[in-house]
A and B are shown apart, each in its own frame.
Chain A
């Protein structure tokens, strides 16, 4: 099953953290393709799809950040009304919960990123529906 590596970074939920993190990535010449931030109370987690996840992770860890790699699914859908609904409907039919998910459209290609406990199973279900589950390389060259 194709999975994509995201870089997850733990940071305090206060001004300046995103600036510090992005500065480190800038200096390492890392290119960010997708970003989400979830915060809860005193802390937040930033998740990044970058062109070189290992380099990004190492650079952040060197500067003292708690950074780790996560395996997620990147699914391509048609960029039109109803496409996301079809995905949601399919997952519902298989009792799969969309816990954390986000999407973006680039070059008229719609990519849905899904974090799942069992990415392999979710990937198989969506593949059977005819959706393309992207490899790391494919996700980065959208």
Chain B
């Protein structure tokens, strides 16, 4: 499948796309869209006909929350995963048994591709729970037959103990945690190359540069492979680096790949940066047509020396919206704004600052009426705000209180985010 000749691969894609379009005709949201343009499943006869299909956006998922985009009955869905939305509700993605098995298969492909075998010990240092980085990667690793250690993130002491005692060889981890962990090892006098068995790191959930990649490899003595995915498309494993590490192979038997101009919606030339749009063609519970990922990338022209015919995309270079990713978690400034606006003790202006690897600081103005002279109460207020933000964002920011009127007044959609991170 991975080296299937292009004509055969494209024929398979088309067939799966047609099946998918037929499947989503039952979904009221898509049916309405098809009716509006007079589109019928039979109209999809060639690859170009994809352009006749409507886009699906995060807003569509929000408006159809909780299960308006389901293409099967609730009895057939096995799992729910969610992804942060801009408003109070997250995006909900449903998976059937077949979907889960397939997702695991795609990840098993990635593991195989990067030389992981059943003799490896895989420590999944990503959050489990609603995040796909946990469970999806877990089952992919189990398909290969590795020993899977579901450590989740954090508590470096325990991570180290597990690595030492169980001789972990492969990890799944965020780029920022790589640095924290490397620092931690250094402070403990542990040399990962001599004292640990780590060989490979699947690093993802956040975009990062080539330079960061090399730094991680040097710091942890591992081979780093970039992993790209999004909850709406199963989670991790949509695209993965092969041993040549010159782009991420995107599995075209499962996803139709487009890169478009974020404003015009027209496809860009191969090699040009644009917004990645993905159509899931091998999902039954909740397929999505031409989903606007908001991730910016480019298709790498030409073929990869590895021989795989699935095209490669460049590592993600940015977003075409204002979403941030902190410690692997998607965060929208709108979420922060919503929490802050509900608090009478602070003013309308705020600044979000990102420093270091993943330090998130939210600076707010104290309303004069909320000041009673007690320093202790101010500290309590700071804590209260940080806690409310954590409950909304899944990440706890530092909160700074400053005087009213000291922050720049935002005009319209003025920048409230200062991102000084070095990853």
**Chain A contacts to B: CB under 8 angstroms:** 6, 8, 10-12, 38, 40-43, 45, 47, 61, 64-70, 100
Write out the residue numbers on chain A whose beta carbons fall within 8 Å of the beta carbon of B406: 12
Q: Are B371 and A10 in contact (CB under 8 A)?
A: yes
Write out the residue numbers on chain A whose beta carbons fall within 8 Å of the beta carbon of B307: none
Write out the residue numbers on chain A whose beta carbons fall within 8 Å of the beta carbon of B185: none
**Chain B contacts to A: CB under 8 angstroms:** 363, 366-368, 370-375, 378-379, 382, 400-406
Q: How far is the CA of A47 from the CA of B372 in the complex (A)?
A: 11
Q: Which residue of chain A has the shortest Cβ distance to B405 in the bound complex? A: A64
Q: Are A65 and B403 in contact (CB under 8 A)?
A: yes
Q: How far is the CA of A26 from the CA of B363 in the complex (A)?
A: 30
Q: Are A67 and B368 in contact (CB under 8 A)?
A: yes
Write out the residue numbers on chain A whose beta carbons fall within 8 Å of the beta carbon of B368: 10, 61, 65-68
Q: How far is the CA of A70 from the CA of B372 in the complex (A)?
A: 7
Given A45-B375, A61-B368, A70-B373, the answer on whether A10 and B400 have CB atoms closer than 8 Å is no
Q: Are A40 and B403 in contact (CB under 8 A)?
A: no
Q: Are A8 and B402 in contact (CB under 8 A)?
A: no
CB contact between B378 and one of A6, A45, A64, A70 (< 8 Å): that residue? A45
Q: How far is the CA of A67 from the CA of B363 in the complex (A)?
A: 20
Q: Are B403 and A64 in contact (CB under 8 A)?
A: yes
Write out the residue numbers on chain A whose beta carbons fall within 8 Å of the beta carbon of B405: 64
- Given A11-B403, A43-B366, A100-B375; 14 other pairs, CB 8 A cutoff: A12-B402, A12-B406, A38-B375, A42-B401, A43-B378, A43-B400, A43-B401, A43-B402, A43-B403, A45-B373, A45-B374, A66-B368, A68-B371, A68-B373
Write out the residue numbers on chain A whose beta carbons fall within 8 Å of the beta carbon of B363: 42
Closest 8 CB pairs of A and B: A8-B373, A66-B368, A42-B400, A66-B371, A70-B373, A38-B375, A64-B405, A10-B371
Q: Are B372 and A40 in contact (CB under 8 A)?
A: no
Q: Which residue of chain B has the shortest Cβ distance to A46 in the bound complex? A: B373
Q: How far is the CA of A68 from the CA of B116 in the complex (A)?
A: 65
Q: List 18 A-B contacts (CB under 8 A).
A: A8-B372, A11-B403, A12-B402, A12-B403, A38-B375, A42-B363, A42-B402, A43-B366, A43-B378, A43-B401, A45-B373, A47-B373, A61-B368, A64-B403, A65-B368, A66-B367, A68-B372, A100-B375
Write out the residue numbers on chain A whose beta carbons fall within 8 Å of the beta carbon of B382: 41
Q: Are B378 and A40 in contact (CB under 8 A)?
A: yes
Interface centre among B363, B367, B378, B405 (most CB of A within 10 A): B378
The prevalent SS among residues of B at the interface is: mixed
Q: Which residue of chain B has the shortest Cβ distance to A17 in the bound complex? A: B403
Write out the residue numbers on chain B whose beta carbons fall within 8 Å of the beta carbon of A45: 373-375, 378
Write out the residue numbers on chain A whose beta carbons fall within 8 Å of the beta carbon of B404: 64, 66
Write out the residue numbers on chain B whose beta carbons fall within 8 Å of the beta carbon of A61: 368
Q: Closest CB-CB distance, A3 to chain B, in whole Å?
A: 13
Write out the residue numbers on chain A whose beta carbons fall within 8 Å of the beta carbon of B375: 38, 40, 45, 100
Q: How far is the CA of A53 from the CA of B221 in the complex (A)?
A: 65
Given A10-B366, A66-B368, the answer on whether A41 and B400 have CB atoms closer than 8 Å is yes
Q: How far is the CA of A6 from the CA of B373 in the complex (A)?
A: 9
Q: How far is the CA of A24 from the CA of B280 in the complex (A)?
A: 65
Q: Closest CB-CB distance, B344 to chain A, in whole Å?
A: 14
Q: How far is the CA of A41 from the CA of B401 in the complex (A)?
A: 9
Write out the residue numbers on chain A whose beta carbons fall within 8 Å of the beta carbon of B378: 10, 40, 43, 45
CB contact between B403 and one of A41, A47, A66, A100 (< 8 Å): that residue? A66
Write out the residue numbers on chain B whose beta carbons fall within 8 Å of the beta carbon of A11: 403
Q: Which residue of chain B has the shortest Cβ distance to A72 in the bound complex? A: B373
Q: Closest CB-CB distance, B367 to chain A, in whole Å?
A: 8
Q: Which residue of chain B has the shortest Cβ distance to A69 in the bound complex? A: B373
Write out the residue numbers on chain B whose beta carbons fall within 8 Å of the beta carbon of A41: 379, 382, 400-401
Q: How far is the CA of A131 from the CA of B314 in the complex (A)?
A: 78
Q: How far is the CA of A10 from the CA of B406 in the complex (A)?
A: 12
Q: How far is the CA of A41 from the CA of B366 in the complex (A)?
A: 14
Q: Closest CB-CB distance, B404 to chain A, in whole Å?
A: 6
Write out the residue numbers on chain B whose beta carbons fall within 8 Å of the beta carbon of A69: 373
Q: Closest CB-CB distance, B234 to chain A, in whole Å?
A: 42
Q: How far is the CA of A46 from the CA of B109 in the complex (A)?
A: 63
Q: How far is the CA of A59 from the CA of B130 in the complex (A)?
A: 53
Q: Which residue of chain A has the shortest Cβ distance to B367 in the bound complex? A: A66
Q: Closest CB-CB distance, B101 to chain A, in whole Å?
A: 50
Q: Which residue of chain B has the shortest Cβ distance to A14 in the bound complex? A: B402
Q: How far is the CA of A22 from the CA of B179 in the complex (A)?
A: 45
Q: Closest CB-CB distance, B260 to chain A, in whole Å?
A: 43
Write out the residue numbers on chain B whose beta carbons fall within 8 Å of the beta carbon of A43: 366, 378, 400-403
Q: Which residue of chain A has the shortest Cβ distance to B403 in the bound complex? A: A12
Q: Closest CB-CB distance, A40 to chain B, in whole Å?
A: 6
Q: How far is the CA of A43 from the CA of B403 in the complex (A)?
A: 8
Write out the residue numbers on chain B whose beta carbons fall within 8 Å of the beta carbon of A42: 363, 400-402
